[in-house]
Structure formats: C-alpha cells, structure tokens
Structure 1
Amino acid sequence: MEKVFGKTEGLKKSELKRLSNLYRRRVPKERVLTPELAQALAALSQEVGRPLALLLDREGRVVRVGVGDAKDLPIPEGARGERRLSGFRLLHTHLAPGGLSRPDLSVLFLNRLDSLAALEVEAGRPTTLHLALLAPPKTGEDWRILPPRPYFQYLDLNLLAEVEALEEEMARQARVREVLDGSGERAILVGVDLGEGPEAEAGLEELSELTRTAGGVPVKKVLVFRQHLDPRYLVGLGKLEELKSLAYHENASTLIFGLELTPAQAREIERATGLKVLDRTQLILDIFALHAKTPEAQAQVELAQLKYLMPRLVGRGKEMSRLGGGIGTRGPGETKLEVDRRRLLERITHLSRKLSEYAQRREEARRQRKRKGVPLIAIVGYTNAGKTTLLSALAKGGEPGEDKLFATLRPLTRRGFLPGVGEVLFTDTVGFIRRMPEELLTAFRATLEEVREADLLLHVLDASQEGGLERYRVVEELLEGLGVEAPRVLALSKADRAAPYDLLYLRERLGGVAVSALKGTGLKELREALAEALLKAGVRPQAWAQYT
C-alpha cells in the first residue's frame, strides 16, 4: 500500500486502502480531471469526512495522495527554474462552499505549480470547480483565477496548452533579461533599518556592490523598517511573501540579506520562500574565495568558510553532500552529521597548521627587512578605495588595480623611493569593510600582522564616494581593534573624480593629501608627506638619500 500523506489519524485501514488506490488513477495530460476521478474523489472525501488532495505530474500520473487541505500535502522539489514551472498540479476537495483560499493560492505560487484546482463536494457528489494558474511575470499579479463553474464544464479545457504558453512567456522574458543583464544570478537585496536611517541605506548600496562583485545581478533593493527583528523569519512572514512575489516577477532566484542570519533563520526563510538565501557574511566569503589566488589566501578563505559553516551543519541535507563524499567506512552508530562535523574539524586543524607555517615565514621576512633597515609603509583603507592603483603609482613594479571590492587579498610588497629618506617598502593589504565578518578577521590575522609591524600607515580614502567620513571611521576602528599604533598619512584618492566641495569638506575634517593615481596629480606632495612622517617617527634616512 502506497503512502497516504497528511492528517490520516483515526482513519480505518479500509479507508486508507481506498485512498492508496488513488495512485492507480490517470488523467490525460491535457486535462484538469476526468468525470470518474471527480466522482471517486468526492465520494471518498464525503466518506472520510475530510478534504482530500492529489498531486499529479505533467503526464497525469498521481504522485502523492493526502488527507487535508492543499497546504497539508508535502510537494517534492520539481524541475522548476527561472523558465519553468514545477511540472506538478494539485487537485483537492472542499467540503463546504467557497472559492480558493489564500493558503491555497500560496501553495500554488510558492511551489510554482502548473495549476491548482478545488472541487466542491455536496452530498458525496462533485459540484463546482475552482481553478487557478500562475500569472505571467511582470503582469503585477501572482496568479490568475478562472471563473468558478460546474466541474464538467472544465473537462474540455486544454490545461497543457495553458501551461506551455505560460512557460514560453517565462522563457521569453528570461531571454530578454539575459540580454539586458547578462547571465549572472539575479538576486533581490534585503536591507533592514532598525533606526539607523542613512547608514542603513548606505549598507544596502554596499550590499548591491558586493553582489555585483560576486557575479550576481541585483535586480531590486528592498529596505525593511522594523523596530525588532523576527527571531524566526528576520523580517516577518508577511514581508517574505512580498519578497517571494517580487522575486517571481523579477525572475530572481536568490534573496540576499544585509544582516547575518542565524542558521535557523536561513532554513526557515528558505523553506517559506523556496528561494536560495544568502546573508552578507556568506556573500563576502564568496567574494574572497573568488579572488583568492595564492595558496596562503586560499587557505585563509577556506578556513573562514569552514568556521562559518560549522554551526550551520544541522539540516543542511543535500548541500552537505559534497563534504560527505568519499568518507569511506564509518564507525558504528556514526551519523552523517557527526562524520561531516569531524571532517570539518580535521580540515580546520590542517588549515590552521598551514597558516601558522605561512605566518612563521612572514615573520622571518619581516626580521630580515628590519635588519636591512628599510622602512615599511602599509597601505590600508576601505575596500575598493584605490589602494592597489596608488601602490602601482608610488612603487616600482606595482600591479594595476581593479574596480572591484576585495580585488587584493594577499599582501603585495614593492620597493619605492622617498626624497630625504631613500628606499622604502610599500605593502598593499586586504581592504576593510563595515561589519567585517569575524571569521575573516580571524583567518587573515597573520596577514594583517604586516600592518601592525609597519613603520607608517598610508590610509587611502576614496574621496569620490559619498559617506567618506563613515568609511574612514570604520577603518580606524578596525585598526584600533588590531592594536595598530603606527603613525598615519591620509591620502584622499580618486580626487579627479571627486566633487570639489566634497574634497574640500574631507580635507577640512580629516586633513590629508588629495591625489589621483591615474592622472598622477598629488603624488609628489604625498611622497613628501610620507617622508616627513617617517622622519618624525624616528626613521633614519639612508646616507645617500639626504642629498636627493
């Protein structure tokens, strides 16, 4: 006897047997139902005194039988995607008059069903049929409800033609979006304003830039105002339904939240929306993984990812299968979760050991530099502030920068020259960002030792972007948290792109030297400021440099 889902408590074995026999029914793939199925379903529903639900595939085969409303029947993951529906249609009975309820329509929409039908039952006989299909994206409606009619008037409706027409429209709109936006993953960005005002808006803009850097396409930005966060759904179940509707009409498959989600919140939001769910920390980790090129950077990023993943192991299901592969023989009674956890801990230990070895080599290189007496200038700043481009302009053999967040992950050291000081070393470091994930700070702590050991810090601040004071404060607070006490010189980068008033405002509030690495303006003044700061810090000039 095949399984009957839902509220089966109290049913007789004979009733369960008759319900299980519904699996043998077939409906022509172009039809909603047949007279025989309608009558059998109505009679059974009246007999057990409960609504019944059938899930059929696109070939008309019954794949699940349930007792209860549409929401009580678990629906397996179908073949749906941005251009397809799930391939399932749901037919259920109503023992009282009334149309399709909001929960019914939510089941249709959240699962992208081909159709959802409710058959009214009166005295054990089928009467009125209510039928709904999804509306095409961009229409402003989530579903299309057909007029209620006696069920036999829907026997000749070509349901398959309706479904194929909808999928063709979905595919057409997806092709148009690919031309406009490329093939990147389309995402809805969700920020939460707990009273921060402009800072929350700036955080949402930054989330958009992070999404683009990771290769995604931010199609909509939604700022949610809340006094308190929902412990289960973060922004509330009602808002999630709105986001699901927005994702459907924008052909988006991903929700990205600007706050860090707890493991339970991520699971509940994913379950409620059927969409992929990411938070800001996970997005930043993905960007770091994308840009990690050297073995040290790759090890640092992987360690941060594993530490982030550890508390999120419970209930990961298929997502953990890649980590559980090739395990081999398991101990008696060892569950898959325990195996995954043990393997992660082993990998974390291995990576921590490797990073300790890298740190020892870096410490030895620092000792050699100190013995030679060459001053070290560490270039720090907010991500994408122009640090790498400025390094290329100041030093010999610097690499060209990229207009991306976190384009540089490894410390890049190059030789340069300062008037009155002589030869110096410039070190480019990983960029900072507000609410820097703790996992990344921990993993990159050895790399950031370069900043702590520097004789001078060159703080690079992008003068062409709004919110310069806030980004300056973020970097200084992170440096303070790392225990960095070296003197600073501030460079207001991208001065050629900055509005004159904004540049003047930053210079009045923070001081600094306005520079444009691409145009070459301000570089002479910056070198002089760096030399003066080094000499004030007690760095002894090389003998030959005193005459340059």
Structure 2
Amino acid sequence: MEKIFGKTQGLKKSELKKLSNLYRRRVPKERLLTPELAHTLAALSAEMGRPVALLLDREGRVVRVGVGDAKDLPLPEGARTERRLSGYRLLHTHLAPGGFSRPDLSVLFLNRLDSLAALEVEGGQPGLLHVAFLSPPKAEEEDWRILPPRPFHQYLDFDLWAEVNALEEELARQARVLEIQDGGRERAILVGVDRGEGPEAEAALEELAELTRTAGGVVVRKVLVYRLELDPRYLVGLGKLEELKSLAYHENASTLIFNLDLTPTQAREIEGATGLKVLDRTQLILDIFALHAKTPEAKDQVELAQLKYLLPRLVGKGKELSRLGGGIGTRGPGETKLEVDRRRLQERIVHLTHRLKGYAERREEARRQRRRRGVPLIAVVGYTNAGKTTLLSALARGGEPGEDKLFATLRPLTRRGFLPGVGEVLFTDTVGFIRRMPETLLEAFRATLEEVREADLLLHVLDASEDGALGRYGVVEELLRELSVEAPRVLALNKADRAAPYDLYYLQERLGGVAVSALKGTGLPALREALAEALLRAGVRPQAWAQYT
C-alpha cells in the first residue's frame, strides 16, 4: 500500500485502501482534473468526513496523497528545480463552501506550485472549483492570481499547460532582464535585527550591505526587524519569513543574508521554510576572506577559520546517518558518515594549525633579524576599508595600490619608508578590523596580528568621511586591547577631502589626529612629522645620518 500523508488517525483499512488507489489515477497534463477524479474525491471526502489532497506532477501523475488541508501534504525532496516553478500542482477538497484560506495560498506561493485547485464537496458530489496561480513577480501585484469560482465541469476544458507555460516564460523573461542588469551577480535580501540598539542596528545593516557588495552580491532590499526576543527556531518568526519569501520572489532574489550569527538549527529551518540560500554574517565575512586570500598562508588561515566554523554545524540526516560498510566481517557499530566527516575536518584542522605554526616561526625569525638591525616598525591598523593600504603606499616605497573593498588585504605587507629625524622605518599593513569580528577569524589570524603587538608604533587609520567614524574608532581600540597591544598610537584621519568640515573638526576635537588624504597626498608631511615625534618619544634612537636630514 502506498504511503498516505496527513491526518490518517482513525481511518478504516478500506478507506486507506481507497486513498492508496488514488496513486493509480492519471490526469492529462493540460487539464486540472477529470470528471471521474472529481466524483471519486468528493465521494471519498464525504465518506471520511475529511478533506483529501493530491499532488500531481507535470505529466499528471499522482505523486502524493494526503488527508487534511493543503499544508498537510509535503512536497517530495528535491522538488525545487532550476525552473521558476516546482513542476507540481495541488488539488484538494473543501467540505465547507468558501474559497481559499490564507494557509492554502501560502502553500501555493511558498512551494512555487504550478497551480492550486480546491473542489467544494456538496452532499458527496463535486461542486464549485476554485483555481489559483502565482502572479509574475511585480511589486505592485499580489503574490497569486485567483480565478472566479465555477462549477467544476466548466473547468474541464481549461488549458492548464498553456497557463503554466505562459507564466514560466514571463518569469524567465523578467529573470533574464535582471540578470543582464546585474551582470549575473547574486541578488540578496539583507535582514537586520534591532534588539533595541536603534541607530547602531541601522549602521550594522549598512555595513552588511557593504560586505555583500564586496563579496560580489547585489543588495536588492534591506529589511530591519525590530525584535527584542529572538525566535529559537526561525530567528525572526515564521510570519516574517513568509514576508521575506514574498519579497525575494518579487525581487528575483535567491539569497537571504542575516546580520546575526545563526545557530545550525536556525539556518536549517529558515532554509527549509523559504527555499532560499541562507547566510549569516560570519559566513559572509569568511567568504570575503576566501575571495581575497592569495598567498598560501592567507589561504590556510581562511580555510582553518572556515573549518572551525563548519565543525559544530555538521548535521547528519537520512542516508548520512547510515553505517558505512556492510556484509560479512564488517558488522558492528562502525562510523556514521557524520562521524567520518567530523574526523576528517578535525584532522585537517590539526594539519593547518601545524602549518600556520611554521609560518609564525619564520615570521618570528624575521622579526628577530629586524630587531638586530634596529629598524623601527610601524604597524598600520584600522577598520576595514579605512584606506590603510593606500596610505601605506603613499608613505612607503613599493607599496601596493589599495582597493575600495572590505578586507582587501589579508597578508602582512611590509615596506620600507623614511621619516625625517628618524631615518629608515618599516611600515607593515594588517588585516582590517570590523565590529563583532568572528572569533574563528581572530584565532586563525592571531599569528599574523603578532606584527601589531611587536610594533614600535601604531598608525591608526580612521575613515573621517564615514558617518559612524567615532564608533569604528572604538571598535578598533577595543580589539587592540583584546590583543594586549600597548604600543603608542598616531591617529590619521584619512579621506579628509571627502569628509564634511564640521565632522572633521568634531573628530579632531574628540580624538586628535592628523587630517590626511592618502589618495590626493594632502597632509602627508604633517603625518610623517607626527610619526617621527612619536617614535622619538617612545625611545627609538635616530640613525646618525638621519639627524641631518
């Protein structure tokens, strides 16, 4: 007997047998239903006193039979294809007069059904038929289009195939237009959660948009959800997820990016409820690091951070929990695939940790040689995309050009420079900081950040044109305290040419610092003098020849 889904408790064996026989039915692919099927469903629903639901594929084959409402009938695994519609249609009975309920229409929309039909049952006979289709994704329209209810026999000649083809062609046309417009980049909806932070939550959402752009995505909509208590299963609640699903449909977005870290359960449940790719903030940052990792060390650091993030999120299900091996001589508990995956990840983590330790030892040797030469080291630190690399290029010989991207620099880039009254110095660039820096990244890059701890002086670069400059300054200083960095600082208020005069004056009043523009070269002589004075105050001895320059 074929499986019957839904509310089957209390049904007789004969009724279950009749339900199972529905799997043998076949409806022409261009028809909503046949007269025989309509009468069979009506009689069976009246006999049981319960609604009956059928899920049919594009060829008109019955692939699911259920008892209850439309929401009680699950779609097969892997039902979503590359097509805009799922390729399934749902036909169910209503024992009471009336049209579609909100849950019915949610099933149509959330599962991208080809069509949804509800057959009213009156005294064991088929009555009115209600039919609904998805609407093309236009923001000004409803998510669905409901046809006028009619006696079922008036819909027997309705051309379902033509309707579905026309809808898919329109969906594909609109998708092609957006794909050309965006250059094939991934379209994403950003979701921030305001737990009472107010402006800080808005700033964090703007930062998430910048991260998404750096990762190569297109931000089509930003949604800020006010919620003091997070839903342990859906984070922002199932109702809000349905709104996001609708928004994604109209904007042709395939990805939801949350500004909070999701638990493994939340990520799985949100993905299941929306059918969209789901990322959290840490995943997005890790992806950016992977995109910008060029050297072997940077690649190892990023891979280590990714594996440490992934390890607690390994969840087995279905075949993944089956035992490996089998047959004579292999019986016993064995290892699940989940256990094998976890063991392999742990082995890779140990291997990468050992390799990074080797990199750190070689870097420590380079530091010892530098200390023997007596050349002062200035570490350039700051919030990501503050212009650190561009400023280093302007101050040092052989610096690399910067990029208007977050985390464009992952490796410690060291270049020689000259300061009046001091002589030769070394400038070293570092990975940019960001608020709520993922712990896995801090651990992976801790050896690289040793350059900051060993520096004679820190050049803190702050983007003065950024609205939240003061907050970003605090984030960097807090992270430096966590790293136990005590070296003296010189603050460079970069991008002064783009900052509003009042904002620049306010920052100088609050923080001090030297206003510069690394791109245009303004303020650099004053910055060099400030760096030289700070090094001399810190006890750095000037090179003999430099005292006369």
Using the size of structure 2 for normalisation, the TM-score is: 0.95
Tell me if structure 2 keeps the 8 A contact 1:140–1:249: no
Aligned position for 1:244: 245
- How far did 1:330 drift? 11
Note the 1:484-495 alignment, pairs <5 A: 484-495=485-496
How far apart, CA to CA, are the structure 1 residues paired with 2:196 and 2:346? Answer: 39
How far apart, CA to CA, are the structure 1 residues paired with 2:68 and 2:337? Answer: 33
How far apart, CA to CA, are the structure 2 residues paired with 1:201 and 1:180? Answer: 27
Instruction: Out of 398-407 and 5-14, give the one that drifted further.
Output: 5-14
Question: 1:446 aligns to what SS in structure 2?
Answer: coil
Instruction: Out of 176-185 and 426-435, give the one that drifted further.
Output: 176-185
Name the amino acid aligned to 2:529: E
- How far did 1:261 drift? 1.2
Name the amino acid aligned to 2:104: D
1:117 matched to 2:117? The reply is yes
Aligned position for 2:108: 108
Aligned position for 1:18: 18
Aligned position for 2:284: 283
How far apart, CA to CA, are the structure 1 residues paired with 2:331 and 2:86? Answer: 37
- How far did 1:547 drift? 1.0
How far apart, CA to CA, are the structure 2 residues paired with 1:298 and 1:14? Answer: 63
Tell me if structure 1 keeps the 8 A contact 2:316–2:337: no
Note the 1:466-485 alignment, pairs <5 A: 466-485=467-486
Name the amino acid aligned to 1:424: V
Question: Per-residue displacement from partner, 1:181-216 (whole Å, max 9, x unpaired)?
Answer: 221111111111111111111111000010111111
Aligned position for 2:95: 95
Question: 1:445 aligns to what SS in structure 2?
Answer: coil
Tell me if structure 2 keeps the 8 A contact 1:421–1:531: yes
Aligned position for 2:192: 191
Aligned position for 2:394: 393
Question: 1:501 aligns to what SS in structure 2?
Answer: helix
Aligned position for 2:29: 29
How far apart, CA to CA, are the structure 1 residues paired with 2:200 and 2:332? Answer: 51
Note the 1:221-236 alignment, pairs <5 A: 221-236=222-237
How far apart, CA to CA, are the structure 1 residues paired with 2:301 and 2:495? Answer: 30
How far apart, CA to CA, are the structure 2 residues paired with 1:506 and 1:233? Answer: 41
Q: For residues 516 and 357 of structure 1, do their structure 2 counterparts lie closer, same or farther at Cα, with a shift above 3 Å needed?
A: same
Aligned position for 1:546: 547
Note the 1:164-203 alignment, pairs <5 A: 164-203=165-204
Q: For residues 493 and 243 of structure 1, do their structure 2 counterparts lie closer, same or farther at Cα, with a shift above 3 Å needed?
A: same
Question: 1:377 aligns to what SS in structure 2?
Answer: strand
How far apart, CA to CA, are the structure 2 residues paired with 1:528 and 1:330? Answer: 75
Aligned position for 2:137: 137
Question: 2:172 aligns to what SS in structure 1?
Answer: helix
Give the count of matched residue pairs: 540
Instruction: Out of 43-52 and 91-100, give the one that drifted further.
Output: 43-52
Question: Per-residue displacement from partner, 1:385-429 (whole Å, max 9, x unpaired)?
Answer: 000111111111111110000000111111111111111111000
Q: For residues 330 and 537 of structure 1, do their structure 2 counterparts lie closer, same or farther at Cα, with a shift above 3 Å needed?
A: farther
- How far did 1:332 drift? 4.1
Tell me if structure 2 keeps the 8 A contact 1:80–1:112: no
How far apart, CA to CA, are the structure 2 residues paired with 1:162 and 1:10? Answer: 39
Aligned position for 1:427: 428
Name the amino acid aligned to 2:391: L
How far apart, CA to CA, are the structure 2 residues paired with 1:543 and 1:317? Answer: 73
Aligned position for 1:63: 63
Aligned position for 1:50: 50
How far apart, CA to CA, are the structure 2 residues paired with 1:350 and 1:22? Answer: 57
Q: For residues 330 and 525 of structure 1, do their structure 2 counterparts lie closer, same or farther at Cα, with a shift above 3 Å needed?
A: farther
Aligned position for 2:379: 378
Name the amino acid aligned to 1:28: P
Aligned position for 2:7: 7
Note the 1:388-537 alignment, pairs <5 A: 388-537=389-538
- How far did 1:96 drift? 2.1
Identity %: 84
Instruction: Out of 150-159 and 69-78, give the one that drifted further.
Output: 69-78
1:313 matched to 2:309? The reply is no
How far apart, CA to CA, are the structure 2 residues paired with 1:286 and 1:312? Answer: 16
Question: 2:66 aligns to what SS in structure 1?
Answer: strand
Tell me if structure 2 keeps the 8 A contact 1:191–1:204: yes
Name the amino acid aligned to 1:41: L
Q: For residues 184 and 330 of structure 1, do their structure 2 counterparts lie closer, same or farther at Cα, with a shift above 3 Å needed?
A: farther
Question: 2:116 aligns to what SS in structure 1?
Answer: strand
Question: 1:221 aligns to what SS in structure 2?
Answer: strand
How far apart, CA to CA, are the structure 1 residues paired with 2:263 and 2:332? Answer: 31
How far apart, CA to CA, are the structure 1 residues paired with 2:512 and 2:75? Answer: 62
How far apart, CA to CA, are the structure 1 residues paired with 2:536 and 2:332? Answer: 64
How far apart, CA to CA, are the structure 2 residues paired with 1:226 and 1:365? Answer: 51
Q: For residues 21 and 430 of structure 1, do their structure 2 counterparts lie closer, same or farther at Cα, with a shift above 3 Å needed?
A: same
Name the amino acid aligned to 2:538: A
Q: For residues 310 and 317 of structure 1, do their structure 2 counterparts lie closer, same or farther at Cα, with a shift above 3 Å needed?
A: farther
Tell me if structure 2 keeps the 8 A contact 1:464–1:494: yes
How far apart, CA to CA, are the structure 1 residues paired with 2:428 and 2:317? Answer: 40
How far apart, CA to CA, are the structure 1 residues paired with 2:101 and 2:419? Answer: 75
Name the amino acid aligned to 1:518: L
How far apart, CA to CA, are the structure 1 residues paired with 2:282 and 2:52? Answer: 44
Question: 2:256 aligns to what SS in structure 1?
Answer: strand
Question: 1:85 aligns to what SS in structure 2?
Answer: coil
Using the size of structure 1 for normalisation, the TM-score is: 0.95
Tell me if structure 2 keeps the 8 A contact 1:28–1:59: yes
1:146 matched to 2:147? The reply is yes
- How far did 1:179 drift? 2.9
Instruction: Out of 45-54 and 482-491, give the one that drifted further.
Output: 45-54
RMSD: 1.8
Aligned position for 2:349: 348
Name the amino acid aligned to 1:10: G
How far apart, CA to CA, are the structure 1 residues paired with 2:316 and 2:287? Answer: 21
1:158 matched to 2:159? The reply is yes
Name the amino acid aligned to 1:78: A
Instruction: Out of 383-392 and 303-312, give the one that drifted further.
Output: 303-312
Name the amino acid aligned to 2:308: K
Tell me if structure 1 keeps the 8 A contact 2:194–2:224: yes
How far apart, CA to CA, are the structure 1 residues paired with 2:13 and 2:366? Answer: 78
- How far did 1:317 drift? 7.6
How far apart, CA to CA, are the structure 1 residues paired with 2:515 and 2:342? Answer: 51
Question: 1:189 aligns to what SS in structure 2?
Answer: strand
Q: For residues 268 and 55 of structure 1, do their structure 2 counterparts lie closer, same or farther at Cα, with a shift above 3 Å needed?
A: same
How far apart, CA to CA, are the structure 2 residues paired with 1:333 and 1:94? Answer: 50
- How far did 1:315 drift? 4.7
How far apart, CA to CA, are the structure 2 residues paired with 1:104 and 1:401? Answer: 53
How far apart, CA to CA, are the structure 1 residues paired with 2:203 and 2:455? Answer: 31
Note the 1:259-278 alignment, pairs <5 A: 259-278=260-279
Question: 1:400 aligns to what SS in structure 2?
Answer: coil
Instruction: Out of 44-53 and 303-312, give the one that drifted further.
Output: 44-53
1:360 matched to 2:364? The reply is no
Name structure 1 gaps, 5 residues minimum: none
